[in-house]
Amino acid sequence: MKRYSLPIASLLFVVNLLIASCKKEIAVPNEIDRDLFASWKWIKTDGGLNGGINTPALAGFEEFIEYRSKGEFYRYKGTQKTESLKFSIIQGQSIFTGQTVDLLTYKKAGLLNRQNQNDFIKQSFIFRADTLILQEETTAGFKIYYVKK
């Protein structure tokens, strides 16, 4: 068994770290989609089966989400991370408008996922100034509003 001196072992560690950090950014259909790569604070949800409205004040907690350019999505309730998923942006037809829109699709690893993918609801998204609006692409879907942090 060959042993490396400390400087060579350190160099190998740094090289492996650099290789791991060079993961490519995900593809985006439109340059404006890059605005998604940020941290967002939840301000309101409306729609769903009951057509109601929910806010952080009504829910009793704050929520934040984060989209990273390498396809990583995180959700936080207060300061505690509650969800971690992989995502991609594709183009598809909106069930609401029939038009081609940019859609978020999510993936999650797990023992029960035979193909390493869950059937999460797809979300279309738009920007209005510093606000991100996510629309669940289902007939009883929610519309969720976030403001850039």
Here the tokens at position 72 are: 């990583």
Q: Which residues contact 29 (CB under 8 A, 6 or more apart)?
A: 89, 90, 91, 102
- DSSP state at residue 84: E
Assess whether pLDDT exceeds 80 at residue 133: yes
Q: What is the pLDDT of residues 65-123, one digit of tens each?
A: 999 999 999 999 999 999 999 999 999 999 999 999 999 998 875 444 445 455 567 99
Report the distance separating Cα 137 and Cα 134, nearest Å.
9
Here the tokens at position 111 are: 């023992």
Mean pLDDT of 128-136: 96
pTM comes to: 0.79
**Domain annotation for the chain: domains and CATH numbers:** 24-148 (2.40.128)
Q: What is the pLDDT of residues 9-60, one digit of tens each?
A: 444 444 444 444 566 999 999 999 999 999 999 999 999 888 899 999 999 9
Q: How confident is the model at residue 146 (pLDDT cuts 50, 70, 90)?
A: very high
Q: Please report the pLDDT score of residue 121 as a whole number.
A: 74
